[in-house]
């Protein structure tokens, strides 16, 4: 339990008639990268919103950093940050001003220093004094992630951190995420990109039709999928093949 950052048991959520989560269970170990994988509309953002206290579940429990999200939301909020699916950057402000604003909102002692450090770390120093509206998609995403690191949260949630980025910018974000986890931060990210989960995640969970239908390390998932033998050469399945096989199988029922 000491090593568990996030524990989700039997999570259910409906929007009116639409039951999106039908009993979701998973655990995330401290300092690890956990990828929640699912198609459009699978409920990834719904899970993230519940875990970040923005939305209440109908039933089931979610413990984040030792606190129940439903009964102790303030404690949860102190330990986390969220980079939403749609950027939270203020376009009118410069990159530096965005960072300083958040540092002030978090009552940090030295907002300018905090901003400078993050600008360096995210390679945004040269663009620091330009309005964020002039940033490229990749720069904006980097600023967005930098904003979520103000105040050094223990757990960060990244909802589709690389959607819409070009391959180069995507690799940059991956590097940042890996560094975060190496430094002991727990990362829960959602993605539709199987390659992203394959590259980054210590553990992967596939959310489909309201449940986690498969989870584990990449090699655990590969074991679920018998390797095809072609002329004595073993072919390792890609995560994409595993995903399609599992999702396809469930739908076929
Ligand atoms: N506030 C809401 N009111 C009604 N339905 C909603 C609401 N939010 C989400 N939904 C529906 O719930 C389902 C799950 O949505 P959610 O945003 O969690 O999916 P997602 O996996 O994040 O999808 P995407 O990959 O497109 O971001 C979808 O069918 C969506 O239309
Ligand atoms: Mg979403």
pLDDT in tens, 190-246: 998 888 999 999 999 999 999 999 999 988 888 877 665 555 666 678 888 888 888
Which atom of ligand 1 is nearest the CA belonging to 46? 18
In the chain, the N- to C-terminal Cα span, in Å, equals 36
* C-alpha of residue 253 to centroid of ligand 2, in Å: 26
Provide the edge-to-edge strand list for the sheet that holds 186-191. 80-83, 155-159, 186-191, 33-37, 203-208, 211-216
**What local confidence, expressed as pLDDT, does residue 252 receive?**
45
Give residue-wise pLDDT tens across range 96-109.
Answer: 999 999 999 988 99
Q: Rounded to an integer, what distance in angstroms lies between the CA atom of residue 123 and that of residue 111?
A: 18
pTM listed for this prediction = 0.87
The confidence score (pLDDT) of residue 253 equals: 44
Ligand 1 atom closest to the CA of 39, numbered from 1? 25
Q: How far is the CA of 90 from the centre of ligand 1 (A)?
A: 24
Ligand 2 center–CA 229 separation, angstroms = 37
> What are 122-141's pLDDT values in tens digits?
889 999 999 999 998 888 98
| Shortest-distance Cα residue to atom 18 of ligand 1 | 43
Ligand 2 center to 247 CA (angstroms) = 18
**Token digits of residue 57:** 């579940």
Q: What is the pLDDT of residue 241?
A: 81
Q: Tell me: pLDDT of 161 over 50.
A: yes
Helix, coil or strand: residue 41: coil
pLDDT at 181 over 70: yes
Confidence of residue 56 (pLDDT cuts 50, 70, 90): very high
Query: Which of the four pLDDT bands, split at 50, 70 and 90, describes residue 17?
Result: very high
User: Would the pLDDT of 2 be above 80?
Assistant: no
Tokens of 131: 């309005």
- 210 Cβ below 6 A of ligand 1: no
CA of 126 to the centre of ligand 2 (A): 32
Estimate to the nearest angstrom the gap between the alpha carbon of 99 and the chain centroid. 21
Say if ligand 1 is within 6 A of residue 19 CB. Answer: no
CA of 139 to the centre of ligand 2 (A): 21
Arithmetic mean of pLDDT over the chain: 90
Cβ–ligand 1 distance for 191 under 6 Å, the answer no
**pLDDT for the residue numbered 226:** 63
Q: What percent of the chain has pLDDT over 70?
A: 93
- Residue 207: nearest ligand to its CA? 1
Q: 43 vs 4, 124, 144, 209, 252, CA distance in Å?
A: 23, 33, 22, 8, 20
Mutate to test the pocket of ligand 1, among 11, 13, 14, 15 (most ligand atoms within 8 A of CB): 15
pLDDT band with cut points at 50, 70 and 90 for residue 112: very high
> Which of these ranges, 1-5, 73-77, 191-195, has the smallest mean pLDDT?
1-5
Beta carbon of 20 within 6 Å of any ligand 1 atom:
yes
Of 51-60, 64-73, 209-218, 243-252, minimum mean pLDDT range:
243-252
41 CB within 6 A, ligand 1: yes
What pLDDT does residue 194 have?
Answer: 84
């Amino acid at each position: 339990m000491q090593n568990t950052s996030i524990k989700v048991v039997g999570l259910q959520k409906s929007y009116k008639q639409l039951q999106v989560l039908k009993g979701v269970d998973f655990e995330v170990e401290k300092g690890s990268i956990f990828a929640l994988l699912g198609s459009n509309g699978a409920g990834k953002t719904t899970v993230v919103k519940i875990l970040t206290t923005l939305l209440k579940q109908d039933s089931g429990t979610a413990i984040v950093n030792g606190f129940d999200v439903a009964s102790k939301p303030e404690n949860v909020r102190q330990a986390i940050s969220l980079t939403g699916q749609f950027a939270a950057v203020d376009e009118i402000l410069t990159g530096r001003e965005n960072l300083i604003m958040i540092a002030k909102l978090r009552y940090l002692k030295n907002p300018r220093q905090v901003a400078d450090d993050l600008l360096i770390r995210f390679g945004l120093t040269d663009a620091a004094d330009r309005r964020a509206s002039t940033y490229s998609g990749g720069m904006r995403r980097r600023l967005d992630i930098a904003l979520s690191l103000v105040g050094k949260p223990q757990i960060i949630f990244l909802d589709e951190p690389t959607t819409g980025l070009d391959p180069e910018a995507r690799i940059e974000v991956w590097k940042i995420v890996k560094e975060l986890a190496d430094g002991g931060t727990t990362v829960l990210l959602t993605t539709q990109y199987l390659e992203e989960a394959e590259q980054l995640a210590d553990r992967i969970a596939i959310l489909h039709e309201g449940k986690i239908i498969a989870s584990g390390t990449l090699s655990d998932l590969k074991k679920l999928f018998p390797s095809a033998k072609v002329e004595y050469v073993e072919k390792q399945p890609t995560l994409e093949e595993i995903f399609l096989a599992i999702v396809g199988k469930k739908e076929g029922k």
